[in-house]
Amino acid sequence: MKILYLILLISSLVCQNSLEINVDRSLIKWKGTKSTGSYHDGFINVKSSLIEFDENNLLVGGEIIIDMNSIVCTDIKNESSNSYLVKHLKNDDFFSTDKFPTANLIIINVKDEGDNKYKVIGDLTIKNQTHPIEFVANISFDNNVGLATGKIEIDRSKYGIKYKSISWFPDIGDRFINDIFELFFNLKAEKQ
């Protein structure tokens, strides 16, 4: 019986397909909003990844590492104001990118919800603080290429990002920045 179990375990590992996200053909857009309804947005890059699909071409796990120093702003056209915001996002008020240059998502479990929609369950680490996260992604796999699109909502206050947070400063009034920021992703993973 132990031999049969070992053979099944090895076969399942061999049947998995490991892919890497093509950083040149993938996008992660961020958006942060204020209490007034105004917002800032931009992009951030994947640094490295390993995405695993099983023999049925279903996502089963993986890890995505984000380059926090790659953050750019696209909504502010004035170069000086744009540079100011990006530097502020990189400093200790937000992501402390000199101390924490990467963030990572470990995919722990994936549940098929039909029509190429999957509930992804994982652990997200930002600023060396890890919290569970769940989101829905549209995922397809064909000819050794995986495609994933979706949105992740992240509560920055869980990661110690306190700047103008109503969770940390309830008396701030209408000057707060929403604790939830969004990441919209369009990722392409390929065999390398």
Full set of structural domains in the chain with CATH: 16-190 (2.40.128.110)
Bridge partner list, 129: 126
Query: Measured between alpha carbons, how far is 137 from 119 in angstroms, rounded to an integer?
Result: 7
Q: Is the pLDDT of residue 24 over 70?
A: yes
Give the helix/strand (H/E) hosting 11.
Answer: helix 2-15
For residues 105 and 133, is the Cβ–Cβ distance under 8 A?
yes
Angle (CA) 45-37-176 rounded to 5° is 85
Its pTM stands at: 0.85
The answer to whether 32 and 71 have CB atoms below 8 angstroms apart is no
Nearest to 72 by CA among 80, 81, 82: 82
**Pair 127, 102: CB distance under 8 Å:** no
Task: Give the C-alpha separation, 64 to 120, whole Å.
Answer: 13
Please give the single-letter amino acid code of residue 68: M
**pLDDT bucket at 153, cuts 50 / 70 / 90:** very high
Separation CA 103–CA 56 (nearest Å): 30
Report the pLDDT value the prediction gives residue 192, as an integer from 0 to 100.
66
pLDDT higher than threshold 70 for residue 35? yes
Span of 15-19, 75-79, 188-192 with lowest mean pLDDT: 15-19
Checking if the pLDDT of 172 tops 80, the result is no
pLDDT at 4 over 90: no
